[in-house]
Amino acid sequence: MAFYKHILYTGLSDEDLMRYVARGKEKAFTELYRRYGNKMLIFFYQRLYQDKEKAEDFLHDLFLKIIENPQSFNTNKKFSTWIYAVAYNQCKNEYRKNASGLTKKERYTLDSSLDICENPSFENDYDLKTFSESLELELQKMDDKHGLTFILRHQDGLAIKEISKIMQCSEGTVKSRLFYAIKRLAQKLQIFKGQIKNN
């Protein structure tokens, strides 16, 4: 019977799982962690200077907030947008706390993922590595808002609407930032033409 109940949890939406978490259902929380734990760990790792211990600490704090105060989530809203917004604010607070001692390069070590290119057609790992390094260097030159908007869209795969909620700006602003970021990258990375797409 316990196994059957767990299967029921796996079929629930994120929002329904949060309703059960608010009632103290441990397996509902476990299912949410299964869905988002690794995603959010990567999110923190890439945005917190590739510091694994710090990323794990932030992940712990994020899910602790869910356990301690599940009522802070409005179950009529989309959970994925909410959890990214909470994580994004955690990172912003960390940046503010350490801003005086950070270089721009350190703030952007988060952008070095190889997954940014959605449809890679590189002939070998060397070309992919070269593209990733070149893309990272160009992202380092962008301001935080444009660079992070690009990452949320093309690495994390979030919708325009979700990004607008996370970054607390209009959808038009998100689209404008993406247009600017992609135009700049296309100009700077012409050798990799066709690898970056404005979807």
pLDDT in tens, 33-50: 999 999 899 888 878 877
Is a pLDDT exceeding 90 seen at residue 195? no
Kindly state the average pLDDT of the residues 56-80.
91
- What does the pLDDT read at residue 107? 42
Work out the pLDDT band at 32, boundaries 50, 70, 90: very high
Higher local confidence (pLDDT), 168 or 123? 168
Among 89-93, 112-116, 155-159, whose mean pLDDT is lowest? Answer: 112-116
- Residue 102, pLDDT above cutoff 50: no
* CATH T-level fold of 1-102: Rna Polymerase Sigma Factor; Chain: A (1.10.1740)
Is this prediction's pTM over 0.85?
Answer: no
Q: Are 54 and 120 in contact (CB under 8 A)?
A: no
Orientation angle between helical segments 79-98 and 52-68, nearest 10 degrees: 130
If you average pLDDT over every residue of the chain, what do you get?
Answer: 77
Mean pLDDT value across residues 155-180 = 88
Range in 12-26, 128-142, 158-172 with the lowest mean pLDDT: 128-142
- 115 or 154, which is more confident? 154
pLDDT at 192: 60
Per-domain residue ranges of the chain: 1-102, 104-199
CATH architecture of 104-199: Orthogonal Bundle (1.10)
Burial class (CB in 10 A: 0-12, 13-18, 19+), 186: middle
* pLDDT at 126 exceeding the cut of 80: no
User: Which residues, in sequence order, are CB contacts of 43 under 8 Å at separation 6+?
Assistant: 84, 87, 156
